[in-house]
Amino acid sequence: VRDSSGLEKVILTEPRGSSAQVLLYGGQVISWKNERGEELLFLSNKALFKPPKAIRGGIPICFPQFGSFGSLEQHGFARNRLWAIDTCPSPLPAANNTSTIDLILIPTEEDLKIWSRSFELRLRVSLGPGKLTLIPRVRNIDNKPFSFTFALHTYLSVSDISEVRVEGLETLDYFDNLLQKERFTEQADAITFDDEVDRVYLSTPTKIAVIDHEKKRTFELRKEGLPDAVVWNPWDKKAKAIPDFGDEEYKQMVCIEAAAIEHPIMIRPREEWKGRQELSTVSSSYFSGQ
Ligand code: BG6
């Protein structure tokens, strides 16, 4: 179907009643609703659905570069290109009870002038009961090795950022993007928010929990092939400076991004890299064992 903005999107549904929407523009998930119809991802009210602008919210794909870790445009170009439905995806086992779409991005002549590596970037989005899984794959169809950085820039919807705790990143080293990417070690028990946060946590465990106290909801993010994790909230000052982001919207979102940044992924000709991010929700009381 077409979005109200005229962009094409795919709607996934599953028998328990949850749903997801995936835009071909950017290969971007822009909505994930649970069986009660509650939106679990953040999408800005000011998001512009106007190419070549990237869309503020959902799960943008950062490829072939995360952030400003390289000479390309911020977060690379995959998030503002038109992807296609992959009609003959190389076989990946399909899980039971899931609704799935496979997308592909192949560089144009123009893209090759910006980044001269021939690749196929695939994304499988699978919706299951209480679970949204993204499987990105990058195949090298060039005749020389290449490397890239990558992130699934996941904007989660939360009720009040001041009440949010992120667990699973304690004691880890991180680059602080607000301090010229200087390296620090996390000292807190959990990450909480009372100011702008923009960090790349390095070589994290495979499971990260985002606990939203007010909604009594916990997101669990599980990842493979994406060793790092970005945590971002712009807070009030930065929020005002971002044109496609409401001044107060920083209170209702947090970005937790499964990523490969510190050590770029290198693939040889004909090789394929595969990552995986699984998002699910559990009620907080269940999570804390009460
Ligand atoms: C985060 C970065 O991943 O994305 C931040 O760590 C950046 O530095 C944010 O501000 C948003 O980026 P953009 O390009 O979508 O405004």
**The ligand 1 atom nearest the CA atom of 68:** 8
In what side-by-side order are the strands of the sheet with 173-176?
Answer: 61-62, 146-157, 253-267, 228-233, 197-201, 173-176, 182-185
pLDDT at res. 91: 66
The answer as to whether 67 is a domain residue is yes
The answer as to whether 1 is a domain residue is no
The answer as to whether 173 is a domain residue is yes
The residue to which tokens 């899984």 are assigned = 133
Confirm whether 153 is a catalytic residue: yes
* CATH code of the domain in which 117 resides: 2.70.98.10
pLDDT at res. 87: 87
Q: Report the predicted TM-score, pTM, of the whole model to 2 decimal places.
A: 0.96
The answer as to whether 266 is a domain residue is yes
Nearest CA to ligand 1 atom 5: 198
Nearest to 171 by CA among 206, 202, 211: 202
Select which of 14, 249, 257, 278 is catalytic: 257
**The ligand 1 atom nearest the CA atom of 79:** 15
- The one-digit pLDDT tens for each residue of the chain (290 residues) are 887 788 999 999 999 999 999 999 999 999 999 999 999 999 999 999 999 999 999 999 999 999 999 999 999 999 999 999 998 766 677 777 899 999 999 999 999 999 999 999 999 999 999 999 999 999 999 999 999 999 999 999 999 999 999 999 999 999 999 999 999 999 999 999 999 999 999 999 999 999 998 888 999 999 999 999 999 999 999 999 999 999 999 999 999 999 999 999 999 999 999 999 999 998 755 444 44
Q: Which domain holds residue 215?
A: 9-287
pLDDT at res. 284: 54
Residue 89 is given by DSSP the state: P
Tally of structural domains, the chain: 1
The answer as to whether 243 is a domain residue is yes
Query: From ligand 1's centre to the CA of 278, what distance in Å?
Result: 21
The answer as to whether 182 is a domain residue is yes
pLDDT at res. 290: 41
pLDDT at res. 89: 66
Confirm whether 75 is a catalytic residue: no
**Helices in 31-81 by DSSP H: which ranges?**
none
Query: From ligand 1's centre to the CA of 177, what distance in Å?
Result: 10
**The ligand 1 atom nearest the CA atom of 200:** 6
Select which of 14, 153, 249, 278 is catalytic: 153
Q: Which residues have CB under 6 Å of ligand 1? A: 54, 67, 74-75, 153, 177, 198, 230, 232, 255, 257
The answer as to whether 282 is a domain residue is yes
Nearest to 210 by CA among 192, 227, 198: 192
The answer as to whether 3 is a domain residue is no
**The ligand 1 atom nearest the CA atom of 62:** 3
Whole-Å CA distances, 244 to 24, 54, 241: 20, 10, 9
